[in-house]
Amino acid sequence: MRGFWIQQLPTIGLVCGFVVLVLVWLRWGLARVPPISAMFVSALGAMALLLIAMLTTAPWSVACAVGAVALGMGHAGWMLGALAMRPRPPLPVTQPARPASPAAPAAAPAVLDRKTLGRYRVDREIGRGAMGAVYLGTDPKINRQVAIKTMALSREFHGQELTEARQRFFREAETAGRLQHPDIVTIFDAGEDQDLAFIAMEYLKGEDLQRYTQNLLPVADVVRITARVAEALAYAHSQGVVHRDIKPANVMIDLDTDLVKVTDFGIARIADSSRTRTGMVLGTPSFMSPEQMAGRRVDGRSDLYSLGVMLYQLLTGHLPHRADSMATLMYEIANQTPPDVRNWRPEIPEVLARTVALALEKRPESRYADGRLMAADLTTALALVGGLPPPPAAPEDGLPPNSGGFDATVKINRGE
């Protein structure tokens, strides 16, 4: 008997080695590749092992056969476990049957049927974003008008993800609320009312810069506004806060009162939460930096890239990168140098063109390291642009000159 086991030692050793390799793949490999790719690799590996088992003799044939069976059963077990751990929607509660009302209205969107959110009185809807609506409200304690931005977290997240998103919401709202700068919108409060999280902030009576991507402002105004945004971002970055969604729609202005306010600090990061583990990112594709588009860690230099895109668009009426598909846009942002702004407007001085180009550098270390540096270059350029001719009129057909871009905030799933 002892001689038999000694003869089987090579087979036992090989079997144990193959099983260990399968366990390593199941433990550390499956979680790091997309599900379809993982299934393909496991199936290909099992078929290869079975083929080797058919073409060889013991001990390799036995070890390969055992490895193929272990790989197939292990992958199937991993998939069943992953499905079982998915968060499930709560079971509906059975209610006693009631006679239907003859004039029962259709279910209204969240909040539209409410008069209050937390302690705030809701007056009317004034806008909509990627994660919810914005309302004009009133703080009854001091009779102050506020803008209330809502986020329906329970619709976007479930189970543990919802808990993490809720924690992220209040943490980011608190961080953004500590920013005290004349060109950053003031956040007064954050809370949750039933299924809606909300942020109460300063109500601004100006307009955002989006309309001026078609009806262009004078170059001097564009440079002056962008310099103030760069200073505001420098302050926020010094406080450890990265915006992540700088674009014309998130900058409010009032030319009559010289108002410039950056809005929506922290919103993209609130929504990001645990979705980053599955490749889900919230942002505005045409304004995202190469590192943000790739899902890498971002810092203040990513905001300055987005500010460079905004400056480019406000100066020319065009986005630096335009594409008909998200894949093409991602490739262009990562690899292609945008056209010089003077291709669209030759009268723009070289110092301003250099500032735009430096902000749009692909590598973060090649861009402005600080918003104050960008603001200083813009201030230098300001002395040269005061006498430029007025910008060209908007096209008569009314079509936006940046059509073909992706300039709305969306969720991007890089796993698709």
DSSP per residue, 123-149:
EEEEEE-SS-EEEEEEETTTTEEEEEE
Q: What CATH number is given to the structural domain containing 129?
A: 3.30.200.20
Residue 59, preceding bond cis, omega within 30 degrees? Answer: yes
Kindly write down the DSSP assignment for every residue of 383-416, as one continuous string: HHHTTPPPPPPPPTT---TTTTS--S-EEEETT-
Pairing of strands 120-128, 251-254: unpaired
**158 and 281 belong to one structural domain:** no
**231 and 197 belong to one structural domain:** no
**368 and 282 belong to one structural domain:** yes
Residue type, 355: T
**280 and 308 belong to one structural domain:** yes
Residue 238 lies in a domain: yes
Q: How far apart are the first and last CA of the chain?
A: 57
Q: In sequence order, which residues have a C-beta less than 8 Å from that of residue 290 and are 6 or more positions away? A: 305, 333, 334, 362
The predicted structure's pLDDT at residue 359? 97
Beta bridge partners of 192: 197
Residue bearing tokens 């004034």: 126
**Sequential pLDDT tens for the chain (416 residues):** 566 656 667 777 777 876 777 777 676 666 555 666 667 777 888 888 788 878 777 777 777 887 778 777 877 776 665 554 444 444 443 444 444 444 434 333 444 557 888 899 999 998 876 667 889 999 999 999 999 988 877 777 778 877 887 887 887 788 788 899 999 999 998 888 877 888 899 998 889 999 999 999 999 999 999 999 999 999 999 988 899 889 999 999 999 999 999 998 766 554 444 344 334 445 578 999 999 988 888 999 999 999 999 999 999 999 999 888 888 999 999 999 999 999 999 999 999 999 999 999 999 999 999 999 999 999 999 988 876 666 766 554 444 444 455 655 555 555 44
The predicted structure's pLDDT at residue 95? 40
**190 and 276 belong to one structural domain:** no
**231 and 320 belong to one structural domain:** yes
> How many structural domains does the chain have?
3
**168 and 211 belong to one structural domain:** no
**371 and 231 belong to one structural domain:** yes
Residue bearing tokens 């036995």: 62
The predicted structure's pLDDT at residue 108? 39
Query: Quick check: 265 and 242 in contact, CB under 8 A?
Result: no
The predicted structure's pLDDT at residue 159? 80
The 3-state DSSP class for residue 297 equals coil
Residue 287 lies in a domain: yes
Active-site residue, selected from the candidate residues 123, 195, 245, 299: 245
The answer, as to whether pTM is greater than 0.85, is: no
**199's tokens:** 């942020």
The predicted structure's pLDDT at residue 12? 76
Classify burial at 216, counting beta carbons within 10 Å of its beta carbon; exposed 0-12, middle 13-18, buried 19 or more. Answer: buried
Beta bridge partners of 282: 411
- Asked which of 146, 169, 201 is the last residue of a domain, the reply is 201
272 catalytic? Reply is: no
Query: Quick check: 122 and 134 in contact, CB under 8 A?
Result: no
Q: In sequence order, which residues have a C-beta less than 8 Å from that of residue 169 and are 6 or more positions away? A: 151, 153, 190, 197, 270
Ramachandran bin of 138, using left for φ above 0, alpha for ψ from -120 to 50, beta for the remaining angles: beta
Integer-rounded Cα Rg, in Å, for the chain is: 28
The predicted structure's pLDDT at residue 72? 78
Query: Quick check: 187 and 172 in contact, CB under 8 A?
Result: no
Residue 356 lies in a domain: yes
**214 and 295 belong to one structural domain:** yes
**313 and 372 belong to one structural domain:** yes
Q: Which domain holds residue 167?
A: 116-201
**335's tokens:** 């690899």
**216 and 141 belong to one structural domain:** no
The predicted structure's pLDDT at residue 306? 96
**Dist CA 50 CA 217 (whole Å):** 69
- Asked which of 137, 172, 201 is the last residue of a domain, the reply is 201
